[in-house]
Structure 1
C-alpha cells in the first residue's frame, strides 16, 4: 500500500491530495487545517518520495515503464482500502496529472477535481528522460541548485522558511529510482485529446510566476474542461500553495462550498 496519511474527522467527506514531483505529502501542510474541518483528508507520497519505498506497480522492475495510469491505480487502491467509493481530489503538478487521468478514465469515482499548477501535457518528453537519466546517475541532490527558482517566485525568502527547507530536504532524500520513474511517467503523459471528456466540476489554479508550468497550461486545461474555473495566484511560482497558501486554500474551499473563488484575476474557464 502506498505511504499515506489520514487527517480530519472519520465521518468527513473523503478528500485525496496528490503531491508534485520531488515533494512529499508535506507539501499540503498549509491547507490541512482548513481542509480537515469537514473532510477526511488522505495525503499520499509518490513512489520513492517521502515515506514511500520504491516498489509496487508504478516502478516494479517487471511492470514496464512507470505511467500516470499506474500512479492513478495506486490512488484507487488507497480509496478502495478505506472504503471510499467516491472522493474529492486535488493534485499539484504530477499529482494533478493523476487527477486528470482519474477524471477521464474513472469519472464515477471523482466528485470534484482541483488541478494546482498542473497541465494536460508537461512538455517535450526528451527533457524528462534527460532528467531521469541525470538523477539515476547523480541522485536528486543534483537538482537542488536549480529547484528553488522553479518552486518559488521568491526563492531566497521561501528556502529560509521551515516548510521550504523541509521540502528541499524531501527532494534531496528522494530515491533516485522512484524519482526517475516519475519523470518517465510525466514524459509519457498527454491528456490533451481527452480533456473534453471531463465532466467533473474542476478548479484550475495557476501560479502567475510559475516557470515550470506557465499559466498558459492552465488556460489550455480551462478551455478543454467545460465545467471548470480558472484561478491565477499572483506572486506564486510552482508551489503556489506553499508560497501563497491563503489564496490556494480559499480557492479550494470555494470549489467545495459552491462560492465564487477569490483571486481570480478576471479569468474563468472555459476560456
Structure 2
C-alpha cells in the first residue's frame, strides 16, 4: 500500500487505470469515509483515466496531524500527492467536504486542473455553530452516537433496506475514523465559506446533487453552477452519497463531462 509521508502525517493513496499516458482523475472523499467510497466508479472511469484516490488525513489508513485543520491544508494534501506522483494536471471529482476542497483548488490552483465535478456539496456547508456543536459532541462522546443519524443522512431508506451490507461497510469505516481526523475536518467545514470566490473559477464545472439529499440540497449545487464561469447542474436519485445510490448515471455523467 503506497503512502506519502509529510511533515506531520502520512497519506494513504491508491492508483487505478492503465499507466499509458491517459489523463489523470483525482477523487476526493466525504467526511467520515475512505477511498473505497469510489469503488463503484473505478471500473468505468478507469477505462478513460489514470485514477488517484486517497484517504484524507485522519481517515482510512492516513494518519492525522493535531487538529484543527483548514480547508487550505486539506487542499495542500491533494497538491502534495500530485507533486509526489509528478501529476502536472488532472481532472477532479469531490463529494461533500471533498467538493469544498475542489472548490478551493479551483479558486487557488486552477492552473493544475482541466475540469471539476463537485458532488453533494456547497460553497458553505452548514453553519459555524452547527459544526462547533458537532466538534463538542464528538469530543464528549466519540463518533458512535452519530452513527444512526449519519446513515439516514447519507442513504435513502430504499438503499438502507436493499443494500444493508453496503451501508454496514460505510458505517464501519465511519466508526473507525480517528476523532482527531473527524473534528479537524469539522473545523475546516466550520470556517469555510467560498461563496464570494466562486466567480473566480474558470474551469468547466459539473455540479451533481442527490435529489433527496438533506445535507447539501439541490439549490446549493444550483448556486455553484450559476456562480462559476462555466457550470451546469445535474440532479440524480439518492441522498448525500449520491455516487453510491446512482452509480450508473453518475458514472455516465462523469464520462460525458470529463472525457474530451
TM-score grouping bracket, smaller chain normalisation = over 0.9
Matched residues in 2 for 1:158 and 1:5: separation?
29
Tell me which residue corresponds to 1:122.
125
Q: What runs of 5+ residues in structure 2 fail to find an aligned partner?
A: 5-10
Contact in 2 for aligned 1:141/1:171 (Cα 8 Å): no
Match for residue 19 of structure 2 among 2, 7, 10: 10
> Alpha-carbon deviation of 1:19?
0.3
Q: List aligned pairs for 1:67-216, cutoff 5 A.
A: 67-154=70-157, 156-157=160-161, 160=164, 162-216=165-219
Matched residues in 1 for 2:12 and 2:211: separation?
32
Match for residue 245 of structure 2 among 240, 243, 246: 243
Note the aligned Cα RMSD (angstroms). Answer: 1.3
1:110-136 Cα deviation digits (max 9, x unpaired): 111000101100021111111112112
Matched residues in 2 for 1:157 and 1:216: separation?
28
Matched residues in 2 for 1:120 and 1:158: separation?
32
TM-score (norm 1): 0.89
Match for residue 36 of structure 1 among 43, 46, 50: 46
Q: Could you say which structure has the higher helix fraction?
A: 2
1:62-105 Cα deviation digits (max 9, x unpaired): xxx31111000000000000001111100000001001000000
Tell me which residue corresponds to 2:56.
46
Contact in 2 for aligned 1:152/1:158 (Cα 8 Å): no
Matched residues in 2 for 1:31 and 1:164: separation?
17
Contact in 2 for aligned 1:23/1:49 (Cα 8 Å): yes
Q: What runs of 5+ residues in structure 1 fail to find an aligned partner?
A: 259-271
Matched, 1:256 2:250: no
1:33-81 Cα deviation digits (max 9, x unpaired): 01111211011111211111112xxxx36xxx31111000000000000
Matched residues in 2 for 1:251 and 1:172: separation?
31
SS of 1:6's equivalent in the other structure is strand
1:180-223 Cα deviation digits (max 9, x unpaired): 00001011111100000001111100001001111110111111
Matched residues in 1 for 2:162 and 2:148: separation?
14
1:221-259 Cα deviation digits (max 9, x unpaired): 11101211210013x10000001111111111111135x
SS of 1:42's equivalent in the other structure is strand
SS of 2:168's equivalent in the other structure is helix
Q: Which runs of 4+ in 1 moved over 3 A?
A: none
SS of 1:222's equivalent in the other structure is helix
Contact in 1 for aligned 2:160/2:167 (Cα 8 Å): no
